[in-house]
Amino acid sequence: QVQLVESGGGLVQAGGSLRLSCAASGSIFSIHAMGWYRQTPGKQRELVAIIPSGGNPNYADAVKGRLTISRDNAKNTVSLQMNSLRPEDTAVYYCNARVTYNRHGYEYTGDYWGQGTQVTVSS
pLDDT in tens, 69-97: 999 999 999 999 999 999 999 999 999 99
pLDDT at 19 exceeding the cut of 90:
yes
pLDDT in tens, 44-60: 999 999 999 998 999 99
Mean pLDDT over the full length of the chain: 96
Partners of 30 in the β-ladder: 100
pLDDT at 1 exceeding the cut of 90:
no
pLDDT in tens, 100-119: 999 899 999 999 999 999 99
| Residue of 17, 37, 18, 27 whose CA lies nearest to 114 | 37
CA distance 21 to 79: 4
CA distance 3 to 21: 14
